[in-house]
Structure 1
Amino acid sequence: MDLTPVQANPILDGIQASDVDTTRLRVRVLTRSGQTTGRPLLLVHGNISSSLFYQRLMLALPDDVLPIAPDLRGYGETEPKPIDATRGLRDHVDDVVALLDALGLSEVDAMGWSMGGGVVTRLAIEAPGRVRTLTLQAPISPYGYGCTKGENGELVFDDAAGTGGGGANPRLVELLAAKDADGSGTPQSPEMVSPRATLRSLYVFPQAAPSPDEDMWVAAMLTTHTGPGFYPGDSTTSSNWPGFAPGVKGILNSMSPKYCRWDDIVDIDQKPPVLWVRGDRDLIVGDAAGLDLAVLGQAGLIPGYPGADVLPAQPMIAQTRAVLEKYAAAGGSYRELTLPQVGHSPHLERQDDVLQALLQHIA
């Protein structure tokens, strides 16, 4: 694997950024400086983030592991080609396959965080034999985000109303487009829906003092491309609550249950072992997640909520566990690691615990 370094910021000492031309698009990749050999570990980030979030974990890995952290399309410094939401997460999967081909890697261990958990799981489904082990950190539900009920992911409304591009906070989109971390506030007291405040309240379990790496993480968030083809995507009107349904472009639509699911991992012939890592205080992916519009409706924050008997909170954890239990019953295996007092980002909040579990898993 031959990579040419490029200038990038904010990059920690020991991390190298490179641009890789693939058959689909140019991909920005982080590796450790000068490392070209070792057991390849693919690290896939989530929504409103980039590969920058993985730097500390990459540096902590042993020398015989070769970490490879790409920016997905729509994020970071990868070529900003729009996202076809009707393919679910498959645009990202095809980009990753093209990247692995360009790097000459036939097989990798794969770790995916949040939306990235769905990406690497679909990679195992779509590209048999390319994934040796799967590590899912706070992964998106196997039935997408929002508007499903029960462990089997039954769609509440046929048009998946309440999911997709219409669900984004317009002010957050505005600040991301302006690359404004704090909005009308300051780093000490940012605006409530600013990228920095979102990180502090949702990405990690709230702490008394910000992490020393906070500016780097916020910089990663601000690389998110905005617009109909990117974040959040387009939307359509709906006669169902809350009045909108998914469009066909952009990232939030690609995670709608109308297009996104990975429960078919149960049916694949080559079943990599799965490590599922999550925090017990995760407000983004949970059985009553803070970003689920049903939860916001129950709290009275969105008017006209039809009631929990019509639209209950999506049981994301129960759905993931049910699918992984079926996966194990069908000949696969999985381990669930739940970390107390941890939010949506275990590798940022409890790096040592995640690293230990990850190394045991890929061994």
Structure 2
Amino acid sequence: MLHTKKIKTPSLTQHIITNDVSSDEVVLFIHGNASSSVFWEEQMEMLPPNYRSIAVDLRGYGETEPVVHDATQGCLQWATDILELMDELKVEKCHVVGHSMGGSAVYNLLTIAPDRIVSATLVAPASPFGFGGTKDEIGTPCYSDFAGSGGGTVNAEFARRMKEGDTSEEDPNASPRVVMNSFYWKPPFRPAREEKLLLSMISERVGEDAYPGDFVASENWPNVAPGIYGPVNASSPKYAIPAAEKLMKSGIQTPILWVRGSDDQIVSDNSFFEMGTLGKLGLIPGYPGEEVYPSQPMIAQTRYVLEKLKEGGATYKEVVIEETGHTPYIEKPSEFAAVFHTHLKETA
């Protein structure tokens, strides 16, 4: 049975879901953007009984204390929050699982505390080079100011509806429910837990210092560059690229499982949430062309970094689950669990 708890750590009070099993085999689940620990409940309940499971609401999400997210640290702040949580819960080592943006927290955990990570599972992870603003597999920025990434790239109407807790299907382009059912999974799939997952989605803290964060004007297309607050800025290559460079030099030996959906429209080489793709489709005016600003090759970038880690001694396995979108662990839970549980057993 799963329980919720509030855990006070040095930096903030964190909300977790846990099965409270007494075991040294611990699995820590990390959610993505516009979601919370709730997204992991089904997989937590499917774990073999000898595992202790913990899912955390990251800073800025769910029921964790609503404190400011300093984006200039990139996703490192989430990683340090998680390490503080592990210390409070007396978890010396664990398996970590990160979905989407949560994958970026995993990258940072692997860099700063590899000795505390038994294995890593990346589920539809964001590119190690960040979201938006880069143009090739090695993460070369399109512009020196990283224009086209950060808080200014988020649909303002979507953010407004998130803040107001909109659960309607009123706006086909910006209602959270429509976005979730169109992009989180591959239509026409709709989960049995749709209402609970939607409430989890809109629980994210919204504001200039939260989601989507602030931005600055840029002379470069699309005329916005990253600011200094919130998760979307933290995911900008301005702050992610230095972290990726540290990761590639880290020499980690951690076994990594990379699972993604075959039809992911959020993290892909032609993401419908990335400025290069939107510009190419004529949805953002003034597009400078593919030579200047192509679609970000997110899958190629992730594979490039994992291959670099492999050269240094790490191991990784890539698994593609067919006929799924951005959340294969929700769309095909049994198929995902089979691959995931095998990884846990092989790396225990």
Secondary structure class of the residue paired with 1:326: helix
Equivalent residues of 2:261, 2:323 under 8 A apart? yes
Deviation at 1:43, TM superposition (A): 0.2
Cα deviation 1:178-208 (Å, max 9, x = unaligned): 111216x2xxxx643111101111100111x
The aligned amino acid for 2:180 is L
Equivalent residues of 2:191, 2:330 under 8 A apart? no
- Which of 89, 102, 113 aligns to 1:103? It is 89
- Which of 264, 276, 284 aligns to 1:302? It is 284
Q: What is the correspondence of 1:12-91 to structure 2 with a 5 Å cutoff?
A: 14-32=1-19, 34-91=20-77
Report what 2:186 is aligned to.
205
- Which of 173, 184, 187 aligns to 1:192? It is 173
Cα deviation 1:283-342 (Å, max 9, x = unaligned): 110011111111111111110000001101000000111111111121111000011111
Report what 1:234 is aligned to.
214
* Residue 266 of structure 2 corresponds to residue 279 of structure 1: no
CA RMSD of aligned residues (A): 1.2
Cα distance between partner residues in 2 of 1:133 and 1:293:
33
The aligned amino acid for 1:17 is T
Number of equivalent positions: 343
Equivalent residues of 2:252, 2:313 under 8 A apart? no
* Residue 330 of structure 2 corresponds to residue 348 of structure 1: yes
* Residue 301 of structure 2 corresponds to residue 319 of structure 1: yes
Deviation at 1:22, TM superposition (A): 0.6
Secondary structure class of the residue paired with 1:260: helix
The aligned amino acid for 2:17 is L
- Which of 268, 272, 278 aligns to 2:250? It is 268
Equivalent residues of 2:14, 2:64 under 8 A apart? yes
Cα distance between partner residues in 2 of 1:125 and 1:323:
13
Deviation at 1:101, TM superposition (A): 0.4
Secondary structure class of the residue paired with 2:95: strand
Cα distance between partner residues in 2 of 1:192 and 1:249:
25
The aligned amino acid for 1:255 is S
* Structure 2 gap ranges (5+): none
Cα distance between partner residues in 2 of 1:68 and 1:17:
10
* Residue 321 of structure 2 corresponds to residue 339 of structure 1: yes
The aligned amino acid for 1:254 is A
Cα distance between partner residues in 1 of 2:339 and 2:7:
30
Cα distance between partner residues in 2 of 1:41 and 1:331:
23
Report what 1:114 is aligned to.
100
Deviation at 1:267, TM superposition (A): 2.2
Cα distance between partner residues in 2 of 1:150 and 1:210:
34
Cα distance between partner residues in 2 of 1:294 and 1:266:
26
Cα distance between partner residues in 2 of 1:293 and 1:120:
25
Q: Identity across aligned pairs (percent)? A: 38
Secondary structure class of the residue paired with 1:343: coil
Equivalent residues of 1:142, 1:263 under 8 A apart? no
Cα deviation 1:122-148 (Å, max 9, x = unaligned): 111111311110100000101000111
Deviation at 1:89, TM superposition (A): 0.3
Cα distance between partner residues in 2 of 1:191 and 1:147:
26
Cα distance between partner residues in 1 of 2:112 and 2:83:
9
Equivalent residues of 1:182, 1:191 under 8 A apart? no
- Which of 272, 278, 285 aligns to 1:290? It is 272
Equivalent residues of 1:43, 1:70 under 8 A apart? yes
Deviation at 1:263, TM superposition (A): 4.6
Cα distance between partner residues in 2 of 1:131 and 1:173:
34
The aligned amino acid for 2:190 is P
* Residue 198 of structure 2 corresponds to residue 218 of structure 1: yes
Secondary structure class of the residue paired with 1:111: strand
Cα distance between partner residues in 2 of 1:269 and 1:295:
34
Cα distance between partner residues in 2 of 1:80 and 1:357:
35
Equivalent residues of 1:38, 1:63 under 8 A apart? no
The aligned amino acid for 1:24 is S
Equivalent residues of 1:46, 1:113 under 8 A apart? yes
Cα distance between partner residues in 1 of 2:335 and 2:65:
34
Cα deviation 1:47-102 (Å, max 9, x = unaligned): 01000000111111110111100000100000011111110001111110100000
Cα distance between partner residues in 1 of 2:262 and 2:113:
32
Report what 1:259 is aligned to.
239
